[in-house]
Structure 1
Amino acid sequence: MDIELHNNDYKRPIHEASSMSHARCASYLLERGAKVDSLKKADWTPLMMACTRRSLEVIELLLKWGANLSLKNKDGWTAFHIACREGDSDVIQRLLLANCELWRTESKTKRTPLHTAALHGCERLSRFSWRG
């Protein structure tokens, strides 16, 4: 079986498992050679997909396998921007634990993760400790 088989959008099984919060499936794929930072269309990583679902278990797994928190999609968003858009404080805290400088990143339009959180109505995150 080709672990890196992809569709027309370059979405691989690891993207599907991550976006559907299937940690056991993601683990199975990673153990068999799936690339933790593979890119699908618009440069989305499995970590970004997991952040859209607020899937802390999958996020933990991807970080354990060395997911790169600095990768940006076509809009310049990192997984941290996506996590801030979703507003899950546990996910945000976990990502900041992995890299406390994430809050300093900017998208192509110069939007920071804090801007993203505010834009999407996550006002309680503005009171979050952004310094790790």
Structure 2
Amino acid sequence: MEKLIIKLQNSEEEEGIFEFVDVDNAGGVVYNYKGKPFNGIIQHCDGDRIVYEEEFTDGHIGGVQREYYENGQMKSEYFKYFAKPEGDWREWGEQGNLLYHSIWKEGEKVKIIVPRKA
């Protein structure tokens, strides 16, 4: 099933589209969209450029989260489950080189695959 994608230019648009329901136990927002828990992706944009994306499941921040450099290259990608990191967390440099990779379980870092350089 295809996810609903909503592009936003600023926080005022977010307030006009989504109904804030609550803050979940992990500190993440809970949103309704058209009277139902939001299932989809919010793309925060600067003009045509995507700055970051947040995936929501059943109104909670849950799913793939991505941040991008100005050149369009992905800066980071990770998965959240009820606003807590879960699974792979990766970060790249502006030219696409992998800078960091870790594994998370239930909001706790359990393994570093590629450490950050000092």
- Please classify the TM superposition score into its range, dividing by the shorter chain length: 0.3 to 0.5
Q: TM-score, normalised by structure 2?
A: 0.38
- Which structure features the higher share of strand residues? 2
Query: Which has the bigger relative contact order, CA under 8 A and spacing at least 6?
Result: 1
- Which structure features the higher share of helix residues? 1
